């Protein structure tokens, strides 16, 4: 069984993330979406809230599971024999940073390879940071986040103003 681990902060999960998850679910036997703690980012949503949102938006994919971790992804991946890391790329700048991280992860876990999926072109501009900025200004988010979590993002935005 070939397993892909798709790590990220998912704060919040976007339609771009969901596009990568959907496509990965057709390529791999199992996709583990791992909601990570990122010490460099100040998030809007708690880890539990992000996991809950991910579970709601991926419930239709039978081979996708949601997990969370506060350890390095290279260490986390050791739990899954033969797993690969899955990273979505929006632009060349994503590749540069992800390429470096792939080598670091390989040093941590010598059996861990990283596979890159390019974003669908309609999501190349989309990031969680952009969604939060749009939400602050009460913009229409229907083209940016899954419908299952629209209200969550809107409510959190009100609290963050």
Catalytic residue from among 17, 87, 132, 156: 17
> Is-above-0.75 flag for pTM?
yes
Domain residue ranges in the chain: 3-160
> Which tokens belong to 40?
């460099």
Q: SS3 breakdown of the chain: % helix, strand, coil, rounded to 5?
A: 45, 20, 35
Q: What does the pLDDT read at residue 15? A: 97
Residue ranges of the alpha helices (H) in the chain? 15-27, 47-58, 73-76, 92-108, 128-136, 150-160
Catalytic residue from among 55, 90, 106, 127: 90
For the question of residue 143 being annotated catalytic, the response is: no
CA atoms within 13 Å, Cβ hemisphere of 37 = 9
For the question of residue 90 being annotated catalytic, the response is: yes
Q: What does the pLDDT read at residue 148? A: 97
Q: Are 50 and 33 in contact (CB under 8 A)?
A: no
Mean pLDDT by 10 residues, the chain (161 residues): 94 97 98 89 91 98 97 95 94 84 94 94 92 94 96 90 70
What is 3-160's CATH number, 3.40.50.2300, 3.40.50.620, 1.10.3470.10, 3.40.50.720?
3.40.50.620
Catalytic residue from among 128, 132, 156, 157: 128
For the question of residue 103 being annotated catalytic, the response is: no
Cα-based torsion angle of the residue sequence 138, 156, 118, 36 in order, rounded to the nearest 10 degrees: 160
Helix, coil or strand: residue 98: helix
**Residue 8: partners with Cβ closer than 8 Å, 6 or more residues away:** 17, 33, 34, 35, 36
């Amino acid at each position: 069984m070939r397993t892909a681990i798709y790590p990220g902060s998912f704060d919040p999960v976007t339609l771009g993330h969901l596009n990568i998850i959907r496509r990965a679910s057709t390529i791999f036997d199992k996709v583990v979406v791992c909601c990570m703690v990122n010490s460099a980012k100040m998030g809007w949503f708690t880890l539990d809230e992000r996991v809950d949102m991910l579970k709601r938006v991926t419930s239709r994919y039978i081979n996708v599971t949601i997990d969370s971790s506060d350890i390095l992804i290279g260490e986390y991946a050791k739990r899954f024999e033969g797993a690969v890391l899955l990273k979505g790329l929006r632009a060349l700048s994503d590749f540069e940073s992800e390429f470096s991280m792939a080598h670091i992860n390989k040093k941590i876990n010598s059996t861990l390879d990283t596979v890159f999926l390019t974003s669908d072109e309609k999501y190349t501009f989309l990031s969680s940071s952009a969604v939060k900025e749009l939400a602050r200004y009460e913009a229409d988010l229907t083209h940016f986040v899954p419908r299952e979590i629209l209200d969550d993002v809107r409510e959190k935005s009100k609290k963050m103003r």
